[in-house]
C-alpha cells in the first residue's frame, strides 16, 4: 500500500504545507498549557477575520447541578426563527484535552442561521484535570437541562440531536450511551465527525498514521493517557470514557459518521458504524478518500471539505424535518 502522503488528496496536501508544525505535529501535548493558549489564540484570530452573523444571538449560561460544578454552555439561536426550535448539542474538538465552547462559533453561527435551529455548545471539562467520564457527565447534564427547560427557552425537546468533532465526537458518543443507560429521552440523532472512540490504539489505521502531523499515533496515545491515566488500554475503561468499549449499542439514536481515509480514527469509526448497524441502529457513513484528520478545518475550501459540509448539513435538515412523534417513537 502507498505511503499516506502519496495517497493524500492534492488540495489537502497543498493546504497541509501551510499548517504550522511543532516537532510533534500541530499539537504539542507535552506542553499542554502552551498548546491550549495557542489553540485559543488561533481560534480568536480566525474569528476576528470572519464577519459576525448578526441574525444569531449568543448567550452564555451556567447549567447547575446538585453535585459538581456548573456546566457552562453557549446558546446560539437565530433572532427571528419561529419556535420551538430544533437543537444541536455541540461538543468541540481538541482531543478532550484542548479547546473551548466558543471556538467553533464562527462556523456554527452561519449553520444556526441556515438551518433555523439553536446550537448549544458545551464547555465540558478537559483532561487531565478532569479524567473521563467527567466530560460525558457534563454532556448529560447539559442535555437534561436543555430538555427540561426547552419550553421556557423556545426549544423543541423532541428534536435535540448530539453532534461533535474529533474528541468532541467521542464525547457526544459517550453522552448518547449515558443518556440511554440512565433512561432519559433518546436524542434525535448523533452526528459524529471523525470521532475519537477507542483508547486501545490497536487498529490498522492507528498504526498507519504516524507522520502526517495533524493527529498522529503518538499524539493520540498521549491524549488518551491524559484522559484515562493508568486505566488506558485496560479492562477498567467504561463506554462512558471510550464509546468503542460498549458492546451493547442497541437503543442508540440514528447515527452519522464521517471520516477521512487517512485519519488515525478511520478503522475505529468504521467498526463502530458496522456494529451500530448490526444492532439495529440506522447509520449513515461517509469515508473520504485521501483525507486526513479534520481535513475540513485545515482545507475548508477544498472540494472534499465542501462535499463533507454539504452532506452533514443535508443530514441535519432531513432529521430536523422529522415529526416529533416519529423522532421519539
Q: What are phi and psi of 228, to 5 degrees?
A: -115, -15
Name the catalytic one among 121, 147, 166, 206.
166
Q: What DSSP designation does 185 have?
A: P
**Is 226 assigned a catalytic role?**
no
What is the DSSP annotation of 45-72?
Answer: HHHHHS---TTEEEEEEEE--SSS--EE
Q: Which of 100, 228, 86 is nearest to 154 (CA)?
A: 86
Name the catalytic one among 198, 263, 267, 296.
263
Q: Which of 236, 93, 89, 111 is nearest to 176 (CA)?
A: 89
Residue 251 CA: distances (Å) to CA of 89, 178, 239, 281: 19, 12, 15, 7
At residue 232, the 3 state secondary structure works out as coil
**Is 152 assigned a catalytic role?**
no
**Is 59 assigned a catalytic role?**
no
Q: Which of 209, 202, 200, 196 is nearest to 263 (CA)?
A: 209
Catalytic (active-site) positions? 166, 263, 293
Amino acid at each position: 500500500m502507498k505511503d499516506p502522503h502519496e495517497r493524500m488528496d492534492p488540495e489537502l496536501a497543498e493546504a497541509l504545507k501551510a499548517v504550522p508544525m511543532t516537532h510533534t505535529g500541530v499539537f504539542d501535548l507535552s506542553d499542554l498549557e502552551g498548546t491550549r493558549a495557542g489553540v485559543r489564540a488561533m481560534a480568536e484570530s480566525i474569528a476576528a477575520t470572519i464577519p459576525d452573523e448578526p441574525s444569531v444571538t449568543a448567550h452564555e449560561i451556567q447549567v447547575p447541578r446538585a453535585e459538581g460544578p456548573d456546566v457552562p454552555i453557549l446558546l446560539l439561536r437565530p433572532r427571528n426563527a419561529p419556535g420551538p426550535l430544533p437543537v444541536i448539542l455541540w461538543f468541540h474538538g481538541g482531543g478532550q484535552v484542548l479547546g473551548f465552547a466558543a471556538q467553533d462559533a464562527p462556523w456554527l453561527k452561519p449553520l444556526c442561521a441556515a438551518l433555523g435551529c439553536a446550537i448549544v455548545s458545551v464547555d465540558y471539562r478537559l483532561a487531565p484535570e478532569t479524567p473521563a467520564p467527567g466530560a460525558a457527565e457534563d454532556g448529560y447534564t447539559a442535555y437534561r437541562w436543555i430538555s427540561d427547560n426547552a419550553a421556557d427557552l423556545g426549544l423543541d425537546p423532541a428534536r435535540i440531536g448530539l453532534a461533535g468533532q474529533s474528541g468532541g465526537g467521542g464525547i457526544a458518543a459517550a453522552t448518547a450511551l449515558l443518556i440511554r443507560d440512565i433512561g432519559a429521552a433518546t436524542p434525535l440523532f448523533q452526528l459524529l465527525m471523525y470521532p475519537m472512540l477507542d483508547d486501545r490504539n490497536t487498529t490498522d489505521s492507528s498504526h498507519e498514521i504516524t507522520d502526517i502531523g495533524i493527529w498522529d499515533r503518538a499524539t493520540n496515545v498521549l491524549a488518551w493517557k491524559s484522559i484515562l491515566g493508568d486505566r488506558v488500554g485496560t479492562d477498567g475503561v467504561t463506554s462512558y470514557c471510550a464509546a468503542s468499549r460498549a458492546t451493547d449499542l442497541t437503543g442508540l439514536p440514528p447515527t452519522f459518521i464521517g471520516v477521512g481515509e487517512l485519519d488515525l480514527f478511520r478503522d475505529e469509526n468504521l467498526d463502530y458504524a458496522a456494529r451500530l448497524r448490526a444492532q439495529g441502529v440506522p447509520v449513515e457513513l461517509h469515508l473520504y478518500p485521501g483525507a486526513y484528520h479534520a481535513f475540513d478545518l485545515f482545507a475548508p475550501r477544498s472540494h472534499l471539505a465542501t462535499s463533507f459540509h454539504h452532506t452533514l448539513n443535508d443530514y441535519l435538515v432531513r432529521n430536523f424535518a422529522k415529526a416529533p412523534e416519529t423522532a421519539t417513537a
